[in-house]
Amino acid sequence: MKKIIIILTVLILLLVTLIVARTLLHQPLSKSTADTVNISVDEKQLAKHMSEAVQFKTISFQSKELAIEEFSGFINWVFETYPEVQNNLEYEQLGGYSMLYKWTGKNPDLEPILLTGHYDVVPVIPGSEGLWDHAPFSGEIADDHVWGRGALDDKSAVISLLEAVTLLLKEGFQPERSIYLSFGHDEELGGTQGAASVVEYAKKHGINFLWSLDEGSFLFDKMIPGIDQIMGAINVAEKGSLTLQIVAKAAGGHSSAPPKQTAVGILAEAITKLETHPVPGGLEGLSAQMFDTISRYMPFTFRMLFANQWLFQGTIETRLADSPFMNAMLRTTTAPTMLSGSTKVNVLPIEAIATVNFRLHPRDSVGDIISHVKAVVDNDNIEVRVRENAGRPASQVSDWTSVGFDMLEKSVNEILKDTVIAPGVMIAGSDTRHYGKVSSNSFRFNPMTVTQKDVATFHGTNERISIANLAQATKIYSRLMINGSAP
């Protein structure tokens, strides 16, 4: 008996030693060695330009109606405000109002790169204008911020890119590799006119981009508990989308003598099953890489869990899945969004329908999700209806060990020393669903630093950007143009 206790104690001690040793070894892989680069920008002028840009009501309405004068007004404003860009770069207007610039490189044999943003914005919810501290299209400059719709999403990227080109042109810089700039006018409607036309144009001219950069994730300040460093996720993939109708069928009839289970009851059961049986997911591939990088900066307990996934993987996945945002990184999500049944109170429905929206993780195909739903629901009285064009798979996963990713990481660190960069997955959509078709690798990232408070203003109330952020983005983009266009 005593022997067994001794053996057990030794085993436990060994296990604890192993766990602690692995935790202590779970350290940041290598800090970026980029030297700090000092760049000065005229912040007052930058703020003034951003303010003017916000004042154009370049709104993408669901009805797809365009206020043409706002869009052409914005384009003319760009021409007048950035004469260096206009005089030195070739310009094409595509798909209506999307702007494509080519900055010809010294070496035409090198594959070009593509830097993009969009200048259309989502509408302000009617009636919510009064909730804004400064009117949504005023472009007011107050409290060191420029206020208004599009300040973060995504006019700030467009303006910062134009400012960066201007800065470099004034210094006499010419890239080795050609740099294309594309500013979409219908991203919020899927980019089917703008970005899609840019892709057509590239194909027609035999252009393939070495890599492309579009809006995406940001630099996060104190958004991940326990981490003090600024963290940037460069999204290397974009989730897909699939909308299915779950149709429960029953005999119908008068509501005064209902059967034990009605179509609504069958449907409710199916939805509950779908919610309690999420699409399998977990820490592997891209998700594993992302959390592996981030966890190296976390406090001891978290580091211990991630350093010992052979023991704690289940615990980690369950904890991550508790947060809707983290859960969306791990798996294809399931969201029932619309319901319909009978059209009259005393008539039993012969069909009760739920619309369910799935956001596809790169590991799952549209077919995989349809099979998953059928297997989970498993009821002869239920039809899983797939409408035409109901689904779009996730994007390809771009290579986070490739040159474009490295140059992004380097450029960020030249301006913001010791920023931690990890690959991530974009849970919303971007124009890169198009641009990716003509780019060997596609990245989605905005070089502005945001806090939890800022995140709520995307497509919401009180959208604004700090002048410091505009300057930071301009500096990082200008370094990216230099680093990224090198042979």
- Residues making contact with Zn ion (CB under 5 A): 153-154, 215
Residue 461 one-letter amino acid: T
Provide DSSP, 409-460: HHHHHHHSTT-EEEEEEESS--THHHHGGGBSSEEEEEEEEE-HHHHTTTTS
Residue 340's identity, in one-letter code, is S
Residue carrying the six token digits 């609504």: 264
Cα–Cα distance between 99 and 295 in angstroms, integer?
A: 40
163 vs 215, which CB is nearer to Zn ion? 215
CA atoms within 13 A on the CB side of 466: 10
CB nearer Zn ion, residue 91 or residue 458: 458
Residue type, 182: S
Question: Of 154 and 414, which CB lies nearer to Zn ion in the complex structure?
Answer: 154
Smallest distance, Zn ion to C-beta of residue 458, A: 8
- Pick 317 or 454: Cβ nearer Zn ion: 454
Least separation in angstroms between residue 182's CB and Zn ion is: 14
Residue 282, Ramachandran bin (φ over 0: left; ψ between -120 and 50: alpha; else beta): left
In DSSP notation, 347-408 reads EE-SEEEEEEEEEE-TT--HHHHHHHHHHHH--TTEEEE--TT-EEPPPPPP-TTSHHHHHH
292 is catalytic: no
Is 129 assigned a catalytic role?
no
How far apart CA 149 and CA 44 sit, in angstroms, is: 20
DSSP symbols for 335-353: EEEEEE--SSTTEE-SEEE
Cβ distance 405 to 234 under 8 Å? Answer: yes
- Output 153 or 238, the one with its CB closest to Zn ion: 153
Helix (H, G, I), strand (E, B) or coil at 166: helix
C-beta of 140 vs 215, nearer to Zn ion: 215
Residues 6 or more apart whose Cβ sits within 8 Å of residue 115: 161, 179, 180, 181, 182, 212, 213, 477, 480, 481
- The smaller minimum CB distance to Zn ion, of residues 281 and 429, is found at 429
Closest alpha carbon to 411 in 475, 321, 476? 476
What is the helix, strand, coil percentage profile of the chain, to 5? 40, 20, 40
Question: Per the residue annotation, which of 120, 188, 431, 454 is the catalytic one?
Answer: 120
Question: 140 vs 154, which CB is nearer to Zn ion?
Answer: 154
Residue 63 Cβ, how far from Zn ion at the closest point, in Å? 19
Q: How far is the CB of 357 from Zn ion (least distance, A)?
A: 19
Name all contacts of 32-35 with Cβ < 8 Å and 24+ positions apart. 32/409, 32/410, 32/413, 32/418, 32/419, 32/421, 34/410, 34/411, 34/413, 34/414, 34/417, 35/414
Cα(153)–Cα(430) distance, integer angstroms: 11
Nearest-approach distance from CB 435 to Zn ion, in angstroms: 13
What is the smallest separation between the CB atom of 194 and Zn ion, expressed in angstroms? 12
- The β-bridge partners of 423 are 234
Contact between 393 and 251 under an 8 Å Cβ cutoff? The reply is no
Q: Which of these is catalytic: 163, 186, 187, 215?
A: 187
Closest among 449, 453, 463 to 220, alpha carbons compared: 449
The nearest distance, CB 118 to Zn ion, in angstroms, is 6
Question: Could you tell me the maximum CA-CA distance found in the chain, to the nearest angstrom?
Answer: 88
* Minimum gap (Å) between residue 186 Cβ and Zn ion: 11
**CA dihedral (32, 445, 155, 222) positive or negative:** negative
Nearest approach, Cβ of residue 424 and Zn ion (Å): 16
Nearer Cβ to Zn ion (372/464): 464
Cα gap 245→67, rounded to integer Å: 35
Kindly list the catalytic residues.
120, 187
